[in-house]
Structure 1
Amino acid sequence: MSEDAEQEEDAPPKKSKFPLIIGLVLALAGGGGGFYATWSGMILGTDSAHSESEETKQEETRIDVAYVPVDPLVISLQAPAQAQYLRFRASLEVPTENQEEVEKLMPRVVDVLNSYLRALEPADLEHPAILTRIRAQMLRRVQVIAGLQKVNDLLIMEFVLN
């Protein structure tokens, strides 16, 4: 027994974990405080006057647009076994000063959209992100016809497979 007692006396005392816990709590508090300071704009934030002027500028540009409806299209898709139809309806977002010019080009726009949608296969339409891709492709084709600055966006109002 005397040997066991000597071994216990020779072992160094255990260090306290209290400083480690305090350091961890302070690190978490500092990280949370830093996140809040940057998120709220106290650090690296923009001027409120600058952001307000940008907001009013964006509102003015949003108000200065017109929506030109595209004639509804019904397209038969190339299905091997069964006949499927795509019902498509959209609107073009254009600046108000270009509205008349774009309305005059609507037969060409409908022709381009019709030919693009006819080239699609039913398997192409099964991908989850296909609507975004189709929208981007059609917008690009419309902008080639009308001009880049004359058409801001293409809004899909109806896209139904029957």
Structure 2
Amino acid sequence: MPSTPADKSAKNQETAPAKKGRKRLLLILLLLPVLLGGGAAGAWFLVPGLPEKVQALLGRTPAEETEMASTPASPGKPSFVEFPEMTLSLPNAGRPRQLRLKLAVEVMGDPALVQADLLSPRIYDSLILYLRTLRDGEMEGALAMDRLRGDLHRRLELVLGPGKVRDVLITGFVVA
């Protein structure tokens, strides 16, 4: 059967509203999750107590949450142990020079527990033996202080054991 132009226009008119209806349905189905997600996020941040209630529904208690928040490696406030000023003479090809050095050591944990170890004669012996081997050329240049800090940190790690010393800070440094 041949189709007439009137039949074709009738089919087009029937499919046009169906296409419009499908587009609206698709738009509604796509916007629905976005609107629901936005509403949920707004409620999460704006309704007081909602996060705690959700955590309770999930089976976690607030004590567990604070415990989990404190366990990551966020040390909080750093603890420092200050060394008394060290003065020693340096070998300098016949020309005597003196070094005055003051250090502060950042420690892990309670400084009262580590302070006795840090201020022991063994630590001073190790540091002074290293410092007396320094030459003038090793204390000059842009990276000299960084090398010195790294070497002092390494010495302290060798004597005390790994993980006790976090950083070495040079608070006073005079070569005369």
- Give the TM-score range, shorter chain: 0.5 to 0.7
- Structure 1: gaps spanning 5 or more residues: 1-53
Percent sequence identity over aligned pairs: 27
- Give, in whole Å, the separation in 2 of the partners of 1:145 and 1:115: 13
- Structure 2: gaps spanning 5 or more residues: 1-68
TM-score, normalised relative to structure 1: 0.58
* Alignment correspondent of 2:99: 86
Residue 171 of structure 2 aligns to which amino acid in structure 1?
Answer: M
- Give, in whole Å, the separation in 2 of the partners of 1:102 and 1:96: 8
* Alignment correspondent of 2:20: none
Deviation, structure 1 residue 66: 1.3
Residue 161 of structure 1 aligns to which amino acid in structure 2?
Answer: V
- Give, in whole Å, the separation in 2 of the partners of 1:94 and 1:70: 13
Deviation, structure 1 residue 92: 0.7
The 5 A counterparts of 1:1-162 are 60-63=74-77, 65-97=78-110, 99-105=111-117, 106-107=119-120, 108-162=122-176
Q: What is the root-mean-square deviation of aligned Cα atoms in Å?
A: 2.0
State the aligned residue count: 104
Three-state SS of the structure 1 residue aligned to 2:99 is strand
Deviation, structure 1 residue 110: 1.7
- Give, in whole Å, the separation in 1 of the partners of 2:136 and 2:75: 38
- Give, in whole Å, the separation in 2 of the partners of 1:62 and 1:109: 27
TM-score, normalised relative to structure 2: 0.53
- Give, in whole Å, the separation in 2 of the partners of 1:123 and 1:149: 31
